[in-house]
């Protein structure tokens, strides 16, 4: 069942790519995608290395200890969607929209941890997921904010 879930997640992510990477914000979307991939991979490598989380079922288990589908595809695409959804919002709306992404993600991971073999939390909780998702979302959003400021300076 777990491999089917990972395959379904991969297919859904790959189908969404053409819809997310079009339009005038292509450069920013690529920065979001690749930056989030690097950040997620680094955090996950640390968390797995310190044995806080384990991924019993993962792609390429002989090569990677983390789940590369989450780190390099799902979370980066989720960040692209979040930045698009919050691109022109004030801080209050950005905070609200971060909750709309991080709360379901945290609950979903909690549910899957309890009911599947995709990952096992050892020294990890739903609150760690909530904090790490929000941290990375705001880190990426801050990077995009800086890009917007640099673009304004360049065009001024």
Q: What is the pLDDT of residue 57?
A: 93
pLDDT class of 67 with cuts at 50, 70, 90: very high
pLDDT digits (tens, 9 = 90+) for 103-120: 999 999 999 999 999 999
Q: What is the pLDDT of residue 30?
A: 92
d(CA 156, CA 153): 5
pLDDT at residue 145 greater than cutoff 90: no
The 3-class secondary structure across 75-131, one letter per residue, is HHHHHHHHHHHHCCCCHHHHHHHHHHHHHHHHHHHHHHHHHCCCCEECCCCHHHHHH
- Say what percent of the chain tops pLDDT 90: 77
Q: What is the pLDDT of residue 149?
A: 86
What residues are paired with 54 via a beta bridge? 120
DSSP structure class, residue 58: -
Domain ranges of the chain: 2-14+28-155
pLDDT at residue 153 greater than cutoff 90: no
Q: What integer is the mean pLDDT of 121-126?
A: 95
For residue 92, with 0-12 CB atoms within 10 Å meaning exposed, 13-18 middle and 19 or more buried, which class applies?
exposed
Q: What is the pLDDT of residue 1?
A: 84
pLDDT at residue 142 greater than cutoff 80: yes
Asked if 129 and 13 touch (Cβ cutoff 8 Å), the reply is no
What residues are paired with 120 via a beta bridge? 54
Q: What integer is the mean pLDDT of 84-101?
A: 91
For β-strands 53-54 and 120-121, DSSP reports them as antiparallel
pLDDT class of 152 with cuts at 50, 70, 90: confident
d(CA 62, CA 84): 36
Q: What is the pLDDT of residue 111?
A: 96
């Amino acid at each position: 069942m777990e491999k089917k879930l990972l395959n379904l997640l991969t297919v859904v992510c790959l189908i969404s790519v053409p819809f997310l990477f079009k339009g005038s914000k292509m450069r920013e979307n690529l920065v979001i995608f690749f930056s989030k991939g690097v950040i997620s991979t680094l955090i996950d490598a640390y968390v797995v290395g310190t044995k806080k989380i384990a991924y019993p079922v993962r792609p390429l288990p002989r090569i990677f200890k983390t789940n590369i589908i989450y780190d390099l595809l799902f979370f980066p695409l989720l960040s692209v969607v979040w930045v698009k959804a919050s691109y022109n919002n004030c801080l209050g709306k950005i905070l609200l929209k971060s909750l709309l992404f991080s709360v379901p993600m945290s609950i979903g991971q909690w549910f899957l941890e309890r009911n599947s073999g995709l990952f096992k939390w050892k020294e990890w909780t739903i609150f760690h997921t909530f904090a790490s998702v929000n941290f990375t979302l705001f880190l990426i959003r801050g990077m995009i904010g800086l890009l917007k400021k640099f673009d304004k300076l360049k065009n001024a």
